[in-house]
Structure 1
């Protein structure tokens, strides 16, 4: 009857069964069924309870059963029989405990794997939010400053800047809304999977950046073809982050983006004619800060490339400006 509560209260049931086995031994009944059931409970405890608890339960069982055997036999059995009996008891309990412990280790590994997946997903979402918002806010800030400068003298240009701000902010809100949909997908299987931006959005990115005062030239080399989604997304985010840094920190007027579709890898290169590493307090300082502590900027791009087993480099050019290059295997 006590087995009915074994799943919810294994420890009390374990104690009750040991007491029943002692009572059965006192009246001369067979006790080996109790031994098998308590051994199974030791395995259950090893799988569901802290390890010290299962170890103590195994030790208690290995103590109680030899004592019962000795009390019933009064030492009449030969020493070899006693040794064989003890070895069988120990082997049975050890097998039960090892089986339960193995189940517990598998459960712990599964939980650790789920935690790792969740952490990776959070980092991915953080990178996506940063890449989306940082670019858009940079464009909006520059357009707002330009509108303030020409509001009285050239209202037509001010209206054009405000229209660019409206367009950029709407696109950013739409992107954030798609990210929220992806976050809810785990709770709502009917949610539509958002279509992630890829290299097809580079031309639109160039148009938006031109509105912010930086002309972006995009050069396509090789045969354009569909890429693995993770490569397509990483390439676009690297271009977007590099162009954003050009707009916000370099003081450049021109930026060049080169995308080369190779047979075995995708090569991307972003260069500008800005101040490079010579501008105190400018982009070089921001980039260094991102590399050392923020986890964004160059560090984010480098992490994207490393996850895809590619190669990445970034730094000031000797002739001036800044260069970001990445090679992603396809």
Structure 2
């Protein structure tokens, strides 16, 4: 028997009391129906055939068995059998709604036998007039109880699926936040590390340059804290008193990113082809983060080099290309397993139906190519989700 959340005891108690009252009032017609008039013993038996129904949610089989025993005693003493049917029928329905079909069918056979005892043994009647209604009622009760059980199982399954979807959504959101944190921290810490090394190297020989490096460190760390604060506000989004968070980075802020990279010691230039236009927020964030990760890798691994960023706006897609002329063939630039940054870039590209290629160039240096569809129809054709994160 599957676990079942019991109904409120108060509700079942009210149902049991109501049935007992109806049965006792109906019992006043026993003599007119040709059966023994209810006496004190009869009243007790009728009450015992209804009141235990209050506990049917906790012990369905036990309540059903007890009611059948009371019914057999009641009918054997010559009282009107109809008075004990209400509780037995409700108990059979409850058994069918919480127990396997074979158990419900066995209980239905038992109740049919009790009814046959009253109609064929205590007061012999036509078998058809006794067994027909008994089989009909028992079949209907078992069928409706089985439907209720299936409905409850489907509801539990649906809730379990919804809970699983919620857990999956939480995991995906954690992955997204992890990617954001990696992109934010990795880039800014790379800039800070470069300038910290520069400041230490020229601290005595060139105090002005050291102060400039420390100023860049202060500015970069402030920007990193601001972006981290924005990520924390994403996690506190349900708080109505939380301040409105700043928009996520877009291609309009690409100039600020390039300035930080230049300040970190990597010369970089930008070329834009096509007509610049607003793009879906997720597409712009994806392009921005890929450029950020590519320049961060160049800043850390390329050595003395120059970088070039190219944006090409097409009618249906955005193409991004980041190259440098540093030590592109150095195996140290390609961490084992691709590195978390490279994994993050590929995940972002896949999320928006794009393609990305990362690797050394034949003429030297390193290259990152990203192509993103910019229209909902094109993203749908490539199998990407239409909803923007």
Q: Which residue of 1 aligns with 2:58?
A: 12
Cα deviations by residue, 1:180-201 (Å, 9 ceiling, x for unpaired): 1111112x13432431111112
**Partners of 1:80 and 1:309 in 2: CA distance:** 68
Query: Is the alpha carbon distance of 1:22 and 1:304 closer, same or farther for their aligned partners in structure 2, counting shifts above 3 Å?
Result: same
Q: Which residue of 1 aligns with 2:380?
A: none
- Post-superposition shift, 1:11? 4.4
**Partners of 1:37 and 1:235 in 2: CA distance:** 65
Matches within 5 A, 1:50-65: 54-56=98-100, 59-65=102-108
Q: Which residue of 1 aligns with 2:371?
A: 327
Query: Is the alpha carbon distance of 1:87 and 1:37 closer, same or farther for their aligned partners in structure 2, counting shifts above 3 Å?
Result: closer
- Number of matched pairs: 308
Which of these residues, 240, 246, 249, is aligned with residue 189 of structure 1?
240
Normalised TM-score (structure 1):
0.84
**Partners of 1:199 and 1:34 in 2: CA distance:** 73
Matches within 5 A, 1:294-309: 296-309=340-353
Q: Which residue of 2 aligns with 1:35?
A: 89
Q: Which residue of 1 aligns with 2:112?
A: 69
**Partners of 1:110 and 1:219 in 2: CA distance:** 47
**Partners of 2:166 and 2:172 in 1: CA distance:** 10
Q: Which residue of 1 aligns with 2:15?
A: none
Normalised TM-score (structure 2):
0.72
Query: Is the alpha carbon distance of 1:259 and 1:106 closer, same or farther for their aligned partners in structure 2, counting shifts above 3 Å?
Result: same
Which of these residues, 321, 324, 333, is aligned with residue 283 of structure 1?
333
- Post-superposition shift, 1:41? 7.6
5+ long unaligned stretches in structure 1? 44-53
Which of these residues, 118, 131, 139, is aligned with residue 170 of structure 2?
118
Is 1:140 paired with 2:192?
yes
**Partners of 1:243 and 1:314 in 2: CA distance:** 13
Which shifted more, 64-73 or 137-146? 64-73
Is 1:219 paired with 2:265?
no
Task: State the SS of the aligned residue for 1:257.
Answer: strand
5+ long unaligned stretches in structure 2? 1-6, 13-54, 75-80, 121-126, 375-389
Cα contact 1:2–1:17 (8 A) shared by 2: no
Task: State the SS of the aligned residue for 2:327.
Answer: coil
Larger C-alpha radius of gyration, 1 or 2?
A: 2
**Partners of 2:264 and 2:56 in 1: CA distance:** 68
**Partners of 1:208 and 1:319 in 2: CA distance:** 27
Is 1:25 paired with 2:71?
yes
